[in-house]
Chains A and B, each alone.
Chain A
Amino acid sequence: MQAKNDGGQDMARILLVEDEFLVSETLSSVLESGGHTVIRAVNGNEGLKKYADGPFDLVITDIIMPDKEGIGMILEMRRRTPNAKIVAISGGGRSGTTEFLRMAKELGAMAVMQKPIRLAEFSRVLKECLATSATTIPPIPAQLSDNESLSPTSQ
Chain B
Amino acid sequence: MSHAGQRGLLVVHPLQTAGGEIDLAPLRAGLSTNWEEYGPSLHRIASRVIRQELPETVACVRLDDTYRVIFANVSELHAINKCQNIADEIERRLTNALATDGTPGRNPKRRQPGSAANLGSSRGILRVLRAFLRALGFLSDTDTGITRGHGGPRGESVNAGADTLKDVRSPSGGGRGVGHPVAARVSATNIPVRAHDGLDPKELVISPRDGLGGDAVAKHSVGAEMPRGPAIADQSLRDFMEHPKGLPAHAAGRNQNPAHPKRTAIAFPPADLRFEFFPFWNLMTNLVTAYGIKPMGTAGPLYAAGPSGEPRHCSSAETFMLDRIMLRECVTILESSKQPQKRALVCTFVHARTLQDPTMARQFLQCCERIPEELRPKLVIEIADAGDVIRSEEGRETISNVSRFVRATLARLPVSVTNMSALVALPIAAAGCDFSGDCREEEAVIRDLEAFAVIARRSKLASYARGLQTVSLTIAAVAAGFRYIEGAPVGRSGLDHLLEVMPFKIADLYGARPSVRTAAL
**A66 and B472 contacting across the interface, CB-CB below 8 Å:** yes
Q: Does A8 contact B (CB under 8 A)?
A: no
**B479 and A152 contacting across the interface, CB-CB below 8 Å:** no
CA distance A99 to B481 in the complex (A): 12
Contacts of B210 in A (CB 8 A): none
Q: Beta-carbon contacts of A67-83 to B below 8 Å, as 1s and 0s?
A: 11101100100000000
Given contacts A94-B480, A152-B488, contact A44 B510 (CB under 8 A): no
For B479, give its contact among A44, A95, A149 (CB under 8 Å). A95
Q: In whole Å, how far is A55's beta carbon from the nearest beta carbon of chain B?
A: 25
Q: From B441, which residue of chain A is reached at the shortest CB distance? A: A66
**B480 and A153 contacting across the interface, CB-CB below 8 Å:** no
Contacts of A99 in B (CB 8 A): 478, 506
**A63 and B469 contacting across the interface, CB-CB below 8 Å:** no
Q: In whole Å, how far is A65's beta carbon from the nearest beta carbon of chain B?
A: 6
Q: Does B58 contact A (CB under 8 A)?
A: no
Q: Does A96 contact B (CB under 8 A)?
A: yes
Q: In whole Å, how far is B71's beta carbon from the nearest beta carbon of chain A?
A: 30
Q: How large is the interface on A (under 10, 10 to 19, 20 to 34, 35 or more residues)?
A: 20 to 34
**B472 and A103 contacting across the interface, CB-CB below 8 Å:** no
Given contacts A64-B446, A66-B441, A100-B475, contact A153 B512 (CB under 8 A): no
CA distance A67 to B442 in the complex (A): 6
Highest count of chain A CB atoms <10 Å: which of B478, B489, B492: B478
**B475 and A69 contacting across the interface, CB-CB below 8 Å:** yes
**B446 and A152 contacting across the interface, CB-CB below 8 Å:** no
Q: In whole Å, how far is A145's beta carbon from the nearest beta carbon of chain B?
A: 10
Contacts of B476 in A (CB 8 A): 64, 66, 69
Chain B stretch 482-507: residues in CB contact (< 8 A) with chain A? 488-489, 491-492, 506-507
Q: Does A136 contact B (CB under 8 A)?
A: no
CA distance A16 to B521 in the complex (A): 38
Given contacts A66-B442, A100-B479, contact A149 B506 (CB under 8 A): no
Q: Beta-carbon contacts of A89-112 to B below 8 Å, as 1s and 0s?
A: 011001111011001001000000
Q: Does A18 contact B (CB under 8 A)?
A: no
Highest count of chain B CB atoms <10 Å: which of A91, A100, A143, A146: A143
Q: Beta-carbon contacts of B351-365 to A below 8 Å, as 1s and 0s?
A: 000000000000000
Contacts of A103 in B (CB 8 A): 506-507
Q: Beta-carbon contacts of B169-209 to A below 8 Å, as 1s and 0s?
A: 00000000000000000000000000000000000000000
Q: Does B56 contact A (CB under 8 A)?
A: no
**A68 and B472 contacting across the interface, CB-CB below 8 Å:** yes
Q: Does A155 contact B (CB under 8 A)?
A: yes
Contacts of B511 in A (CB 8 A): 143-144, 146, 148-150, 152
**B472 and A44 contacting across the interface, CB-CB below 8 Å:** yes
Contacts of A97 in B (CB 8 A): 479
For A149, give its contact among B469, B480, B510, B521 (CB under 8 Å). B510
Chain B stretch 257-305: residues in CB contact (< 8 A) with chain A? 283
**B491 and A94 contacting across the interface, CB-CB below 8 Å:** no
CA distance A146 to B507 in the complex (A): 13
Q: Does B429 contact A (CB under 8 A)?
A: no
CA distance A28 to B98 in the complex (A): 68
For A143, give its contact among B469, B473, B513 (CB under 8 Å). B513
CA distance A152 to B508 in the complex (A): 9
Q: From B475, which residue of chain A is reached at the shortest CB distance? A: A69
Q: Beta-carbon contacts of A132-155 to B below 8 Å, as 1s and 0s?
A: 000000000101101011101101
Q: Does B518 contact A (CB under 8 A)?
A: yes
Q: In whole Å, how far is A16's beta carbon from the nearest beta carbon of chain B?
A: 18
Contacts of B442 in A (CB 8 A): 66-67
Contacts of A66 in B (CB 8 A): 441-443, 445-446, 472-473, 476
**A153 and B475 contacting across the interface, CB-CB below 8 Å:** no
Chain A stretch 12-30: residues in CB contact (< 8 A) with chain B? 19
Q: Does B509 contact A (CB under 8 A)?
A: yes
Q: Does B415 contact A (CB under 8 A)?
A: no
CA distance A98 to B511 in the complex (A): 20
Contacts of B470 in A (CB 8 A): 67, 153
Q: Does B471 contact A (CB under 8 A)?
A: yes
Q: Does B324 contact A (CB under 8 A)?
A: no
For B510, give its contact among A63, A71, A91, A96 (CB under 8 Å). A71
Q: From B443, which residue of chain A is reached at the shortest CB distance? A: A66
**B472 and A144 contacting across the interface, CB-CB below 8 Å:** no
Contacts of B517 in A (CB 8 A): 152, 155
CA distance A127 to B481 in the complex (A): 34
CA distance A87 to B469 in the complex (A): 27
Given contacts A19-B443, A66-B443, A91-B479, contact A75 B488 (CB under 8 A): no
Q: In whole Å, how far is B28's beta carbon from the nearest beta carbon of chain A?
A: 52
Given contacts A66-B443, A100-B475, A152-B517, contact A94 B506 (CB under 8 A): no
Highest count of chain B CB atoms <10 Å: which of A97, A152, A153: A152
**A152 and B471 contacting across the interface, CB-CB below 8 Å:** yes
Contacts of A100 in B (CB 8 A): 475, 478-479, 506
**B507 and A94 contacting across the interface, CB-CB below 8 Å:** no
Q: From B470, which residue of chain A is reached at the shortest CB distance? A: A153
Q: Beta-carbon contacts of B199-232 to A below 8 Å, as 1s and 0s?
A: 0000000000000000000000000000000000
**Could you give 28 example pairs across A and B, Cβ below 8 Å?**
A63-B479, A66-B445, A67-B472, A68-B472, A69-B472, A69-B475, A71-B510, A72-B472, A72-B510, A75-B510, A90-B479, A94-B480, A96-B478, A96-B481, A103-B506, A143-B511, A144-B507, A144-B511, A146-B511, A149-B518, A150-B511, A152-B471, A152-B488, A152-B489, A152-B511, A152-B517, A155-B491, A155-B492
> Nearest 9 A-B pairs (CB), nearest first?
A149-B511, A66-B442, A96-B478, A69-B472, A66-B443, A95-B481, A69-B475, A152-B489, A96-B479
Q: Which residues of A contact B (CB under 8 A)?
A: 19, 43-44, 63-69, 71-72, 75, 90-91, 94-97, 99-100, 103, 106, 141, 143-144, 146, 148-150, 152-153, 155
Q: Which residues of B contact A (CB under 8 A)?
A: 283, 441-443, 445-446, 469-473, 475-476, 478-481, 488-489, 491-492, 506-507, 509-513, 517-518, 521
